[in-house]
Amino acid sequence: MKINILGCYAATPRTLTNPTSQVLEIKDHLFLIDCGEGTQVHLRKNKIKFSRINHIFISHLHGDHFFGLPGLISTFRLLGRDREMHIYGPKGIKEAMTLLLKLGDSWTNYQLVFHELTSKEPELIYDDDKVTVETIPLNHRVYTNGFLFKEKLAERKLNIEAVAKYKIDKAYFQNIKNGKDIELDNGSTIPNAVLTFNPAKPKSYAFCSDTSYKPAIVPQIKNVDVLYHESTFLKSEIHLVAKTKHTTATQAGLIAKAADVGTLILGHYSTRYKSIELFKEEALEVFENVELADDGKVFEFK
Amino acid sequence: MKINILGCYAATPRTLTNPTSQVLEIKDHLFLIDCGEGTQVHLRKNKIKFSRINHIFISHLHGDHFFGLPGLISTFRLLGRDREMHIYGPKGIKEAMTLLLKLGDSWTNYQLVFHELTSKEPELIYDDDKVTVETIPLNHRVYTNGFLFKEKLAERKLNIEAVAKYKIDKAYFQNIKNGKDIELDNGSTIPNAVLTFNPAKPKSYAFCSDTSYKPAIVPQIKNVDVLYHESTFLKSEIHLVAKTKHTTATQAGLIAKAADVGTLILGHYSTRYKSIELFKEEALEVFENVELADDGKVFEFK
């Protein structure tokens, strides 16, 4: 599982700081999460193949999280895309994108499939044989969802030496990987545990931005391997969180601690501070495993 | 008169090439012309003061000419702008920008004044005591206007030595600058030409992008000091101009020659070519004074 941070700063794009966008690589999928202005350029800078992106998740309809989307949709057309593109985001996103394309008398030669979100409860919005994606309802100034990405438990791994030893025909391999025991011709039974290894533990990633401090999300994100949580402010600016519905680094750390996550990645920093290290220092006071997102940074979890 | 090229490449923004946007500095105005994705970042990189921009001219509603506009509008709000912002562009631009702001439950604390354009004939769309702006109807795949910016003739310049010599009271200075002769107490008349110098010749700038080859614009842009004309293709790709409604470098040169302009600036290059110098070489075959726009380049005309 790999997280490629294209942009992780709050508000307007600046010369050296990009608005929110990241690419999650999970089980051969490239999921694009949020799409601030300039995302398509940052995808290129980070050498991410446009054609591998088939699903885009938009948390909310503030500009710094989706004003790069119309340009990206247009660019996919210019690149000759023909595969469906699925876009998950708040209701209204379809009307906006469609209007912008219509005004330019433009079209897409691939199918755009919008999955508009309105529920205030967690919803399963994507499910295939390897991965699921659920919404994490957040509390921001407009309707906002985080997203919880979970790998499914993979099939068991064949112990090549063991199956050779018992001379098991490969016609049985899929059954073995599915966890079945095997009866040999001599009538004895070889337990599955002898023939297989445990598969890798499924990984999970929760993306939570933008939101005010919302402990109600803790049960849903309990024990995730990685939590990306916004921390727009330091605690010195806690007087700003109620109005802006953002979070301090301390609050992000408290969520991570309560959910007992593996790693907390902080992001969505206000550009008022002179160093993002300050966010890490603050979160470390309440939670031990803190990383700082930064534009162009890649986190890999094996 | 100064033209700051923020972006001048066709189609999608890339790592090293920006879509169309430029800032024209003329008689203390900063006019923003087109606003492709990323324009606000390029304004910052080129150290252009956001607060000095009060008028934005959008040629047409293809993404590479206006997808930077919603982000810029939002950023003006974050910067605490309170002055009116005037936006000139094709009908539909107001609906699009309003929808994008509404979806984010956003607002502007300054007034946005949209001037929606629909005419297929040249129109005077801006007029103050120093400058006029007219549309130049172009021929592209969607409704498109170029823009013709003209300085007005300034008042005559006072000849300080001459007015001192004739001991003329400064109460008469404005009359003199307006071109009046002066009668002295002794009854003799001093002709205005003795008391003043000619003002600088008013400058003019025509921005023409995107368009197919359209000689019908020549009378309107006759003798402009500077013509920016798109040249998406070289003549080797002339088979593409009918479908895409773009221009070759040769055709841009022919327009410049027929209009007898001072300087032709080429731009809106397709990124298929290995060097933009090829555009200059081609246009020079038909017109002698050719410059190449490039991102970050500034042209000054004194």
Domain boundary (B140, B171, B197) is at: B197
Q: Say whether both B37 and B182 belong to one domain.
A: no
Q: Is the pLDDT of residue A262 over 90?
A: yes
Same domain, B228 and B85: yes
Q: Please say if the pLDDT value at position B12 is more than 90.
A: no
How far is it, in rounded angstroms, from Cα B64 to Cα B8?
10
The ipTM, to two decimals, is 0.91
pLDDT, average across residues B181-194 = 93
Residues A104 and A231 in one domain: yes
Same domain membership, residue B132 and residue B83 = yes
Give how far Cα A207 sits from Cα of A89, A92, A146, B84, B139, Å. 14, 21, 5, 38, 46
- Rounded to an integer, what distance in angstroms lies between the CA atom of residue B5 and that of residue B13? 15
Q: List residues in chain A touching B: CB distance below 8 A.
A: 11-15, 37-38, 40-41, 44-45, 60-64, 67-68, 70-71, 74-75, 78, 90, 92-93, 95-96, 99-100, 103-106, 141-142
- Among the three residues B197, B227, B254, which one is the final residue of a domain in this structure? B197
pLDDT category, B106, cuts 50, 70, 90?
confident
CA atoms of A24 and B20, how far apart (whole Å): 31
pLDDT of residue A247: 98
Q: What is the pTM of this model?
A: 0.93
Work out the average pLDDT over B153-173: 94
Query: Do B161 and B114 share a structural domain?
Result: no
**What residues of B are in the A interface, CB distance below 8 Å?**
11-15, 37-38, 40-41, 44-45, 60-64, 67-68, 70-71, 74-75, 78, 90, 92-93, 95-96, 99-100, 103-106, 141-142
* pLDDT exceeds 90 at position A96: yes
Q: Are residues A67 and A165 in the same domain?
A: no
**Does one domain contain both B237 and B146?**
yes
Identify the sign of the CA torsion A122, A123, A125, A127: positive
pLDDT band at A11 (very low <50, low <70, confident <90, very high): confident
Both tokens assigned to B51:
């607060």
Show the domain range for A165: 157-197
Region A62-88: what's the mean pLDDT?
A: 96
Biggest alpha carbon–alpha carbon distance for chain A: 75
Q: Assess whether A143 and A171 both reside in one domain.
A: no
For CA atoms B56, B58, B64, B70, give the dihedral sign. Answer: positive
Number of domains chain A is built from: 2
